[in-house]
Amino acid sequence: MGQVNGIGNVNRIERVVIVGGGTAGWMAAAALARFFNDGRRRITLVESDAIGTVGVGEATIPPIANFNAMLDIREDEFLRATRGTYKLGIEFVNWGRQGDRYFHPFGSYGQSFHGIAFHQLFLREQARGAGSGTIGDYSMSTAAAMAGKFARPAPGAKSVVNQIAYAYHFDAGLYAAFLRKMAEQRGVRRIEGKIETVERHGESGDVQAVVLENDTRVEGDLFIDCSGFRGLLIEDTLEAGYEDWSHWLPMDRAIAVPSRNVGTPPPFTRSTAHGAGWQWRIPLQHRTGNGHVFSSGYMQEDEAREILMANLDGEPLAEPRTLRFCTGMRKKAWSHNVVSLGLSSGFIEPLESTSIHLIQNGIARLFALFPDNPVSPIERDEYNRGMRELYEDVRDFIILHYKATQRGDTEFWRYVRDMEVPASLARKIDLWRLHGRVFRENAELFVADSWIAVMLGQNIWPESYDAIADSLDPDRVAAAMHQMRAAYRETAEKLPAHEAFIRQSNGWH
Ligand code: FAD
């Protein structure tokens, strides 16, 4: 049949070149090989062992399971290969006030009644002085985490276990190696070597080829810049520009060190606030990842290192190493025929473990808008618009943790407590302070319950609860809430211990 409508009359992208083989590069390579390797398209990844990778991204959020599923990766196989553990959320220590502790769980709080948000009923019980505990008492993920237990939700079964939501901790280097193997098996060509120069088309300014130290020339139609903080193509070559957010998030250094496990790995990340930043603890099967993220404007590196080393659970397994960064995002994540992913597209400190998700989301968006040759500015602009929205949402949620502090013990905490925040965040906090209302907007990453966890966890109480909660009989609600709390606690006690669960499901290595 002849072509009647012009569909199909395009030049497909034939050569995709990925620059960089860190987590971003190999995630992109594995995903491209799975969906865009139709035999005609050539996918090449260039990386330099001499330059190496950052390799510290070890905690994640639940959507990563979708990424792995998309690549047909089985969970047990993945945990075994990356020596991973389960993560039910993050415990925050010393954030609202020194001595405070709260848990930001994955999954939701309680159950809504007649469509009325659960937290409104919780707030009403608090207003009645009815001794309803903390909001954390109404989360299955929190109950399991605090008991050191884990089980996967069992779809179909009528149990509160189904309210468990989870992500993983894993060894980032092992994850990249795992994805590399998969990508190479599916036809990705890997070239080792350092890129020295980048060639551009005279007219369009598009990138045409990268040239390695040994003069190997790699041509492409579409380039994915996964070269890390430097942004070899997106910044050094195309000068896309960087939007600096360090006035809101002044952390600019991290010192990382692995330590020996003490006891069995807990199923959660811990974030402990210090004088000018915070420390992560990420438990893996074979070691614990630790790091101190701090602001060099408020603390010297020596002091930051001492604090980190003094606060390890087990003995250190390597020399601590320092990483430098500037919080912000590339003004255009996609410029010309170059799409930046990972650290080359921007960086927000790992407080809520969002970086790997930003890579995953960038890949999904690129696939949804996969261009033809030449790239259309319409698809490129749509990508940039969506990425900006996502980055700004994550940025606001991270800033909330600092803004919602009552600490004033150091200059750093006084600064972040008193600073002006983006209007988008100020509006959210103001709305919460009135009647505890919080709405998930657009495709925002963090659900309402995440915002509630941080606000209440850091002692930001609203003036009142939503009037609609008064439509329900308080005694019946109180009785149902009492039952809910008991069900979470009792169910958690009966679950397998976290390590035992991984061993049973054959994910322990
Ligand atoms: P990199 O790992 O820097 O890789 C860059 C690649 O580019 C390398 O392969 C390098 O060889 C190559 N390259 C560069 N220049 C050249 C050249 N000239 N020629 C050839 N090759 C070149 N994320 C999370 O999701 N959770 C976390 O808990 C988390 N914690 C973090 C903690 C810290 C302190 C930091 C800094 C980041 C953290 N991240 C976390 C982010 C996470 O580490 C990164 O998102 C992830 O590692 C992706 O890095 P990348 O692949 O973009 O860059």
- DSSP for 205-244, please give it: --EEEEEETT--EEE-SEEEE---TT-IIIIIIT---EEE
Whole-angstrom distance, CA of residue 78 vs CA of residue 176:
11
Nearest atom (ligand 1) to Cα of 357: 25
Q: Measured in angstroms, how far is the CA atom of residue 457 from the centroid of ligand 1?
A: 31
Of the CATH numbers 3.50.50.60, 3.40.50.11900, 3.40.50.1860, 3.40.50.170, which one belongs to the domain with range 21-58+171-247+326-393?
3.50.50.60
Average pLDDT of every residue of the chain: 96
Residue 112 is predicted with a pLDDT of 86
Active-site annotation holds for 87: yes
Task: Report percent pLDDT > 70 for the chain.
Answer: 99
Domain ranges of the chain: 21-58+171-247+326-393, 85-170+422-502, 253-324
pLDDT at 2 over 70: no
Q: What pLDDT, in 10s, does the model give residues 143-201?
A: 999 999 999 998 777 889 999 999 999 999 999 999 999 999 999 999 999 999 999 99
Residue 3 is predicted with a pLDDT of 59
Q: Do the Cβ atoms of 425 and 402 come closer than 8 Å?
A: no
Q: Measured in angstroms, how far is the CA atom of residue 75 from the centroid of ligand 1?
A: 23
Whole-angstrom distance, CA of residue 62 vs CA of residue 398:
17
Chain centre to alpha carbon of residue 347: 11
Q: What pLDDT, in 10s, does the model give residues 341-366?
A: 999 999 999 999 999 999 999 999 99
CA dihedral 137, 140, 144, 150 (to 10 degrees): 180
Considering only CA atoms, which residue is closest to atom 36 of ligand 1? 323
Considering only CA atoms, which residue is closest to atom 9 of ligand 1? 21
Whole-angstrom distance, CA of residue 10 vs CA of residue 372:
7
Nearest atom (ligand 1) to Cα of 354: 25
Axis crossing angle, helix 448-457 with helix 423-435, rounded to the nearest 10? 70
CA atoms within 13 A on the CB side of 277: 28
Smallest CA-to-CA distance from 332 within 233, 406, 259, 418 is with 233
Which residues have any ligand 1 atom within 6 Å of their CB?
20-25, 46-48, 51-60, 172, 194-195, 226-228, 232, 254, 256, 291, 323, 325, 342-344, 350, 353, 355-356, 359
Q: What pLDDT, in 10s, does the model give residues 58-115?
A: 999 999 999 999 999 999 999 999 999 999 999 999 999 999 999 999 999 998 889 9
Q: Please, which residues have CB within 8 angstroms of residue 159's CB and are 6 or more apart in sequence?
A: 491
Lowest mean pLDDT among 141-145, 407-411, 441-445, 454-458: 441-445
Q: What pLDDT, in 10s, does the model give residues 382-400?
A: 999 999 999 999 999 999 9
Q: Measured in angstroms, how far is the CA atom of residue 79 from the centroid of ligand 1?
A: 21
Residue 443 is predicted with a pLDDT of 78
pLDDT at 56 over 90: no
Is the ipTM higher than 0.85? The answer is: yes
Whole-angstrom distance, CA of residue 23 vs CA of residue 360:
10
Considering only CA atoms, which residue is closest to atom 6 of ligand 1? 20
Considering only CA atoms, which residue is closest to atom 53 of ligand 1? 228
Q: Measured in angstroms, how far is the CA atom of residue 463 from the centroid of ligand 1?
A: 43
pLDDT at 1 over 70: no
pLDDT at 269 over 60: yes
Residue 154 is predicted with a pLDDT of 82
Q: Do the Cβ atoms of 390 and 361 come closer than 8 Å?
A: yes
Q: Please, which residues have CB within 8 angstroms of residue 406's CB and are 6 or more apart in sequence?
A: 96, 97, 417, 458, 459
- pLDDT band at residue 242, thresholds of 50, 70 and 90? very high
Nearest atom (ligand 1) to Cα of 210: 19
**Distance from first CA to last CA of the chain, Å, rounded?**
57
pTM summary value: 0.97
Q: Do the Cβ atoms of 246 and 298 come closer than 8 Å?
A: no
C-alpha gyration radius of the chain: 24
Beta bridge partners of 395: none
Alpha helices, DSSP H only, in 86-200?
118-127, 140-147, 172-185
